[in-house]
Amino acid sequence: MVSPPLIYALLLLAVPMGAIILFSFWTQNFMDVDTTFTLDNYREIITEPIYFALLKRSLFVSGTVTCVTVILAFPVAYFVSFHVPAHRKSLWLFLITIPFWTSYLIRVFLWKVILGYNGVVNTGLINLGIIDEPLTFILYNINAVIITLAHAFAPFAILPIFVALEKIDRSLLEASQDLGESKVATFFRVTLPLSMPGLVAAVLIVFIPTIGDYVTPELMGGAGGKLIANMIQTQFLALNNAPLGAALAIVAMICVTAVSLLFVFLNRHYLRGRS
Amino acid sequence: MSLRIYAIAYLVFLYAPIVLLPIFAFNDGTIIAFPLSGFTTEWFSQLWVTKALHNAVQNSLFIAAITAVMSTILGICAARAGAMYDFPLKRGILGLIMLPLVLPEIIVAVSLLVVVVQILDLGLSNWTVIAAHVLICTPFSIAILNGAFQNLDPSMEEAAMDLGESRWSAFRLVTLPLVMPGIISSMLISFTISLDEFIIAFFLTGANPTMPVYIWGLLRFPGSLPIVMALGTLLVGLSIILLTIAEILRRRGMARAGVKDKGGFL
């Protein structure tokens, strides 16, 4: 019964992944692919400072987006789980997920409209008399990329945290308060540690995919806001150097996986240290 | 109380871009910025006469329809197997099938591009986009269908078979009606994802662009931006309608299967 989706995933996911790993050890000269095994692509990535800079910037952006998204999302998930009556919860979750399903390209473009020189934020602030000159640090740089991505991935962060909070046995919170803990202490010593699985899932589900986004940096990032995904895209499409693009994709994935594993490990360590 | 205000402010943040869409779609000015000038339906009527757009929409509808059906069929297989049977390596196999949910889309895109173009030496077409879209939509189908299949009692199908129905007709007559709302919901969600997907389609689309790829081209020309706003308004409207139907059906399906609704489908 599971075999059709399994075969599909093997053929269209596992095999292609194997193919790009293989491909990253080859070279391409215009249209001809040279299949002799070589580490040249990886050597180029290590020696050319541009790739290292892009990778570092991408990890920084993904990391910041993850922190911002998860920290902003947690109170919302907490509110829906603990303060919204049971029969209204689905409605809240539905409202939270709707913007996520609408055209990604158009949403990103609209952030440009919001943050632009004559945008909503600037005209609003000028009309309110808070600023005299339009703010320029909110478009065509890394800040704009971070804001837009934090918006795009919001539901991904809220839903896993919400699920984890829903699973918490409410009587544990009462017990903690009966035993003399304050509300704040109860939150930090009971609720937060018990919601950790959801937080970890939220971090991973935001951090990993953001590294592969090239639309937001292309539209919002300006000249200094390009990320590693833009470079991968350029290598594959414009420069016709698929092997180098494949090697970049693999290096990016390795970095993301390493950071994710480190995070999961530190989290386990922290939870174990508590108990 | 302050938490409620924060949550509402957060919703405003989430909806801010979408709310702006219709405002600029009906704005009588070619620059997408404030102040607004006047009311017009000009941009909507231009949508009707743009031939290239119609082709792109047709392509996208074709891709989305096939993707919806295929990913839902694969989703049914996986959700049913996951809920009803135990088999070796169950966690690993289901994990691999769900992997595209967290994988950066560009990785899916470039790996398929390499296989199709460089290794198999085939051309790109709507079918290459469909292949990739099915891959990324199947995990969402499974997540939705899990809700429908989870509390389904396997003994009901067994009872039907004991009473003389074949394996297939037992599934068709007993299980299928119970999970039907989930199936339609899964098709609608997959359809919506495929219709809006850009990152993968940009790599794998053939000579005929999909709608998001076409929109991407338009975004470079300031003159065509109001049309994009009008198109976006229609798309967001359509997405919201499809999602509302999907959500209603999903809840109905959960109720039929006797599961308590825990909220969202992710």
- How much is the pTM? 0.86
**Residue B64 sits in a domain of what CATH number?**
1.10.3720.10
Question: What's the confidence (pLDDT) of residue B266?
Answer: 43
- Taken as a whole, chain A contains a residue count of 275
B131 to chain A: closest CA residue: A12
Asked if residue A83 belongs to a domain, the reply is yes
**Cα separation, A91 vs A86, whole angstroms:** 10
Please report whether residue B46 resides in a domain: no
What the block records as the tokens of B257 is 């299967």
All residues of chain B having their beta carbon less than 8 Å from the beta carbon of residue A83 are 3-4
Question: What b-and-e string marks burial along B50-73, b requiring 16 or more CB atoms within 10 Å of the CB?
Answer: beebeebbebbeebbbbbbebbbb
Least confident range from A107-116, A235-244, B147-156: namely: B147-156
CATH at residue A107: 1.10.3720.10
> Which among A1, A13, A93 has the least Cβ separation from residue B135?
A13
pLDDT computed for residue B114 by the predictor: 87
B147 lies in some domain: yes
Q: What are phi and psi of A33, to 5 degrees?
A: -95, 125
- What pLDDT does B74 receive? 94
Buried b / exposed e across B232-242, counting CB within 10 Å, b at 16+? bbebbeebbeb
Question: Is position B98 within any domain?
Answer: yes
pLDDT at residue A69 tops 90: yes
The more confident residue out of A137 and A256 is A256
Are A109 and A144 in contact by the 8 Å Cβ rule? The answer is no
- Residue A136: domain span: 61-274
Write out the two tokens for B118: 């460089």
Residue with tokens 């939220």: A202
For A32, name the nearest residue in chain B, comparing CA atoms only.
B118
Q: Which amino acid is at B202?
A: F
For residue A240, pLDDT over 70 is answered with: yes
Which structural domain range is residue B190 located in?
53-257
User: Burial of B2 by CB count in 10 Å (0-12 exposed, 13-18 middle, 19+ buried)?
Assistant: exposed
- Residue A44: per-residue pLDDT: 84
A3 and B CB contact within 8 Å: yes
Q: Is A171 on the interface with B (CB under 8 A)?
A: no
Write out pLDDT tens, residues A130-186: 888 888 777 888 888 999 999 999 888 998 899 899 888 888 888 888 888 888 888
Q: Tell me if B183 is assigned to some domain.
A: yes
Q: CB distance A209–B103 less than 8 Å?
A: yes
Any domain includes A179: yes
- The dihedrals phi and psi of A182, each to the nearest 5 degrees, come to -75, 170
What is residue B257's predicted lDDT score, i.e. its pLDDT?
Answer: 64
Ranges of residues in chain B with a pLDDT under 70 are 34, 151, 256-266
* Chain A residue numbers touching B114 (CB-CB < 8 A): 16, 19-20, 23, 242, 246
CB contacts of B216 in chain A (<8 Å) are: 105
Whether residue A66 has pLDDT greater than 70: yes
Instruction: Using a pLDDT cut of 90, give the percent of chain A over it.
Output: 27
Report residue A30's pLDDT band, with 50, 70 and 90 as the boundaries: low
pLDDT, residue A270, reads: 82
Q: Quick check: is B156 in a domain? A: yes
Q: Give a yes or no: residue A238 inside a domain.
A: yes
Q: Which residue on chain A is closest to B80 by alpha carbon? A: A1
Instruction: Please tell me which of the candidates A14, A106, A204 has its beta carbon nearest to residue B96.
Output: A14
How many folded domains does chain A comprise?
1
Amino acid B143: pLDDT = 87
Collect all residues of chain A within an 8 Å Cβ-Cβ radius of residue B210.
none
pLDDT band at A188 (very low <50, low <70, confident <90, very high): confident
Tell me, yes or no, whether B43 lies in a domain: no
Structural domain includes residue A52 = no
Structural domain contains residue B63: yes
In a domain, A69, yes or no: yes
**DSSP classification of residue A225:** G
Predicted confidence at residue B210, as pLDDT, reads: 92
For A76, which of B10, B198, B247 is closest by C-beta distance?
B10
* Residue in this structure with the two tokens 């469909």, named with its chain if needed: B130
For residue A207, being part of any structural domain is answered with yes
Q: Is residue B125, in this structure, part of any structural domain at all?
A: yes
Mutation site, A23, A113, A158, interface B, largest B CB count within 10 A: A113
Interface probe with B: pick from A12, A106, A128, most Cβ of B within 10 Å = A106
Number of structural domains chain B divides into: 1
Residue B260: its pLDDT value, please?
59
Q: What is the DSSP string of A140-155?
A: SSHHHHHHHHHHHTHH
Coil, strand, or helix at residue A69? Answer: helix
Q: Could you give the angle at the alpha carbon of A56 between the alpha carbons of A55 and A61, nearest 5°? A: 95
Confidence class for position A251, pLDDT limits 50, 70, 90:
very high
End-to-end distance of chain A based on CA atoms, in angstroms? 42
In the block, tokens 């053929």 appear at A11
Q: Which of A132, A105, A101, A138 is nearest to A119 (CA)?
A: A138
Q: How many whole angstroms separate alpha carbon A82 and alpha carbon B68?
A: 35
Cβ of residue A166 closer than 8 Å to a chain B Cβ: yes
Q: Are strands A27-29 and A32-34 parallel, antiparallel or unpaired?
A: antiparallel
Tally the C-alpha atoms within 13 A of residue A186's C-alpha that lie toward its C-beta.
15
Report the pLDDT value the prediction gives residue B262, as an integer from 0 to 100.
53
